[in-house]
Structure 1
């Protein structure tokens, strides 16, 4: 009995190749598609040139690897979800507590605002500017020329003799060394956590003064 391969085998082979190309475009491995592809390849192979046994074993090994990979991905996904849930519970523990955060958002309440700042290096000049929501400077003063942590206090008084309204302001610290080179600075404020939010999988803390900071900005809690 003689069997002659016809156009059906060629079409099936082309279809299999097209399916393989589509699979390669997927961002993750699809175990079910891999199994269907292997089954179709066996069903439509050329009877005059059957698949080599070693090649078949190689593909079975690949199938096993794909299955293990899918199971590992599922396990890792569950572990990640657990860690996120655990991290969120830990973040919720800061609700209502006073925290020290790296932020330049300064709150003026009842004629009192306070923040701390540090300068990376020995400053020859330090300038402190308080900006309102529109980005306009409402108060300026020279800063301390010492190294280490420094405290800035503001009563809300403006150069014109008026008083700035209560609200959220920005503290800008500009420091330069003796050669006129700008030095890195960091600003720290202390406030109470009023709200904990999860935004795109990341935790955000809303402070009592209205500022929103990342969880990584929290330096200490009391």
Structure 2
């Protein structure tokens, strides 16, 4: 007869028996899932007890340990389902809150922004150390330089810069996507700084089961995550 860790003459441990039962269990006709239930555990436990060596019976400690292990696994499974439900609820709430951003300008990481017809364009530059002269470059969608200007002295931190939407000769430029680049001298060396630009929110999307809420921005080829938004501007 087998000991506490074996069932019958199979030579498989109790854990291995559970694994085999889970692998060979037929899918549920309605759900198609292969979940071990409380009845499966009790069935295996009963079989184990009926085939144990009467001279070496299962001790109370071993029995309690096995039952506690199954209860722990079962509890973790239920907790995971509860977290999935909570995550779905939180995603829905985020989407509802994000819907209020439609039609508003948001600040997102990235040098590319959209200039509207007859208007200028704003951006935010992260300056690691104060600079005497913050030099700004504006490039069009083809990467051609259309304007450079000195934004003046800036302290360390985030600094807002404004471009009037005109080229080097003062001529208004057409609406479209433009890239803002900024640099300055730090410790005698020229450094490029991180730039964020504003974009208008067209719509809100739910992520594909990953809990992310996405924003479709005017002029952007792909959506950005709500978590990436740094600032919410005017409508």
Q: TM-score, normalised by structure 1?
A: 0.72
Number of residue pairs the alignment of both structures matches? 209
Secondary structure in 2 matching 1:149:
strand
SS at match of 1:14: coil
| Superimposed CA distance per residue, residues 121-164 of structure 1 (whole angstroms, 9 cap, x where no aligned partner) | 211442222233344434333332233634321434267x9875
Q: CA deviation at 1:85?
A: 1.1
Give the corresponding residue for 1:9: 8
Structure 1 position 175 matched with structure 2 position 176? no
Give the Cα–Cα distance (whole angstroms) in 1 for the partners of residues 164 and 45 of structure 2.
73
* Partner Cα distance (2:153, 2:47) in 1: 77
Asked if 1:192 corresponds to 2:200, the answer is yes
How far apart are the structure 1 equivalents of 2:124 and 2:17? 61
2:106 paired with 1:100:
yes
1:146 to 1:31, Cα distance in 2 relative to 1, 3 A: same
In 1, are the aligned partners of 2:8 and 2:48 still within 8 Å (CA)?
Answer: no
How far apart in 1 are the matches of 2:87 and 2:61?
39
Structure 2-normalised TM-score?
0.69
CA distance in 1, matches of 2:15, 2:192: 60
Q: Deviations over 1:41-64 (max 9, x none)?
A: 445434443322221122112222
Compared with structure 1, are the counterparts of its residues 178 and 64 closer, same or farther at alpha carbon in structure 2 (3 Å cutoff)?
A: closer
Counterparts of 1:167 and 1:142, CA distance in 2: 23
Unaligned residue ranges in structure 2 (runs of 5+): 22-34
- Counterparts of residues 34-113 of structure 1 (less than 5 Å): 35=41, 38-96=45-103, 98-103=104-109, 104-113=111-120
- Select which of 124, 139, 155 maps to 2:165: 155
Root mean square deviation of aligned Cα: 3.6
Which portions of structure 1, spanning 4 or more consecutive aligned residues, are displaced by more than 6 angstroms?
Answer: none
Q: Are 1:141 and 2:149 an aligned pair?
A: yes
Report the CA distance between 1:31 and its aligned residue.
4.9
